[in-house]
Amino acid sequence: MKTVLMLMLMVLTLPARADEGQRVKPKNVPPHVFEEQKVSGDMPHLPDAVKAAAGSGELVWMGKVCAGVDGEIAQVSVVSGIPGADDAITTALRGWRLRPQEIPICTLVRFVFTVRRPKQP
């Protein structure tokens, strides 16, 4: 009887796995860990209109990106945006695919876009 009770107790205390249909809180990981899991997807680019309006200098975009257990991007949240570029950047990020994960993962991403004014002839 003690053996059966012990086994039941162990089963009840196991952590819920993401593939059992239960909602599992995503794990925050450093950007390099997230990048190592990436298998496809293009880097975001600034729309031409944003580049033209910016003149020259650096534009910084930050966001939180979360991937589900299937490796698909489940959420992109803008933390610090670039007016006129947020939609293009979030669309590119939603196209990323990661390796399948044991649990959902999230990270903060930061992109620095350098804009240079074209040289006048």
Q: How do residues 7-40 score in pLDDT, each as one tens digit?
A: 333 333 334 444 555 678 999 999 999 999 999 9
Q: What is the pTM of this model?
A: 0.77
Task: Evaluate whether residue 6 is within a structural domain.
Answer: no
Q: What is the DSSP letter of 108?
A: E
Q: Which whole-number Å values give the CA distances from 76 to 22, 39, 52, 91, 104, in the listed order? A: 21, 18, 26, 9, 13
Task: Evaluate whether residue 3 is within a structural domain.
Answer: no
Task: Evaluate whether residue 54 is within a structural domain.
Answer: yes
Task: Evaluate whether residue 1 is within a structural domain.
Answer: no
Q: Which whole-number Å values give the CA distances from 88 to 7, 52, 57, 80, 102, in the listed order? A: 52, 16, 19, 14, 29
Task: Evaluate whether residue 4 is within a structural domain.
Answer: no
Task: Evaluate whether residue 7 is within a structural domain.
Answer: no
Task: Evaluate whether residue 93 is within a structural domain.
Answer: yes
Check which CATH number belongs to the domain holding 29 and give it: 3.30.2420.10
Task: Evaluate whether residue 78 is within a structural domain.
Answer: yes
Nearest 5°: phi and psi at 9?
-65, -40
Instruction: Name the domain count of the chain.
Output: 1
